[in-house]
Amino acid sequence: MPIRTAKLSDVAAWVSGEVQGDKETLITGVGTLENAKSGDISFLANKQYQPFLSTTHASAVILDKKSLVGYLGNAIIVDDPYLAYALIAEKLYSEAIIPGGIHSSVQLADDVDIAEHVSLAANVVIGNKVLLEEGVSIAAGCVIADNVQIGANTRLAPNVTVCKDVKIGKRTIIHPGVVIGSDGFGIAKAKGKWQKVPQIGSVIIGDDVEIGANTTIDRGAIGDTIIHNGVKLDNLIQIAHNVEIGEHTAIAACVGIAGSAKIGKHCAIGGGSGIIGHSVMADHVHITAMSFVMRSVDKSGVYSSGTPFMDNQHWHKSAARYKQLDDMAKRIKYLEQKLMEK
């Protein structure tokens, strides 16, 4: 449920938009064009949903100037309807965190530095030499190990584990089940057996980062794993030891990033992709979903790998031909040489 209602004119002011229609209309929630009800505000950012614009029951719609043509209902006109929707929804639904103090079941070590307005919910465990700055909110069942620092107004959802020596910046959001600072996969082979390599680095996370549910970020083997300011991570991502992710990069679910890879700033990595270890990715690189990055990427742009989706019978035929490519290439080269000799 939304925590506030607002006049359309006030809602438009939140996003510096222009109002078409009745400025006094009350906005009480958000909804899709197809399913919105009276009082909801909706948006059109994908032309696929254009047909619903004429039948929507929304009290107002967020549109750009091109989509506004022919629409006579209440509207907020902006350049980027989806971004405006995100900002409006945040205003309508995001309740300010009011720290609720420290629950009686919280276990605190003796040497802990906790600011005045911090919220620690039931069954939280806090280790030695932990610093929690003003406005930090830690939900039920979280474990914060020794020598951890958490910046102001950062929020941890239930059952987050933050291992020793980790540093987390300000205004960061960490969703349920996240593990930060677990050991990286460091092993060395000795006489047919695997020897564990101590993981003595840590994890440093910047400001305004968001980390999705059940994502894991391994501590560095020697140096640190670093997640820079503004990075957005989806659910179920594996970030290995000594990875570095540049500012304002967004990574979708189920991506795996191998050790010591360096990802640039403002990159976008599609779901299910894999990135090989020790590779370097330039700024402003977009990797499409289910790609496998097997080498460094030194120029910005859009990159893809893998075979396109197709019916199974066609795929089997194509797979058989893939095995013949090397032999075909040799035959073509031979024929080219013969032609040149004539």
**φ/ψ (deg, to 5) at 116:** -65, -45
Among candidate residues 57, 228, 241, 314, the one labeled active-site is: 241
Share of the chain above pLDDT 90, in %: 90
Residue-level pLDDT at 289 = 96
For 127-184, write each residue's pLDDT tens digit: 999 999 999 999 999 999 999 999 999 999 999 999 999 999 999 999 999 999 999 9
> Pairing mode, if any, of strands 256-257 and 274-275?
parallel
Given pLDDT bands bounded at 50, 70 and 90, which one contains residue 95?
low
pTM of the model: 0.89
Mean pLDDT for 10-15 is: 97
- pLDDT at res. 155: 96
**280 strand-pairing partners:** 262
> What number is the average pLDDT over the span 14-23?
97
Known catalytic residue at 117: no
Q: What residues form DSSP beta bridges with 177? A: none
pLDDT for 342 beyond 80: no
Q: Over pLDDT 70: what percentage of the chain?
A: 98
Q: Is the pLDDT confidence value at 106 over 90?
A: yes
pLDDT recorded at residue 25: 97
pLDDT given for residue 99 in this prediction = 61
What is residue 2's predicted lDDT score, i.e. its pLDDT?
64
Residues 6+ apart with CB under 8 A from 188: 194, 195, 197
Q: Which residues, 6+ apart, have CB-to-CB distance to 48 below 8 Å?
A: none
Nearest-angstrom CA–CA distance, 279 and 273: 14
Query: Which whole number is the average pLDDT over 283-301?
Result: 97
More confident call, 308 vs 87? 87
pLDDT for 43 equals 97
- How many Cα neighbours within 13 Å face the side chain of 116? 0
Mean pLDDT, the chain, integer = 95
Is pLDDT above 90 for 229? Answer: yes
Asked whether the predicted pLDDT for residue 113 surpasses 80, the reply is yes
User: pLDDT tens digits for 300-340?
Assistant: 999 999 888 899 999 899 989 989 999 999 999 999 998 98
The reported pLDDT for the residue numbered 338 is: 86
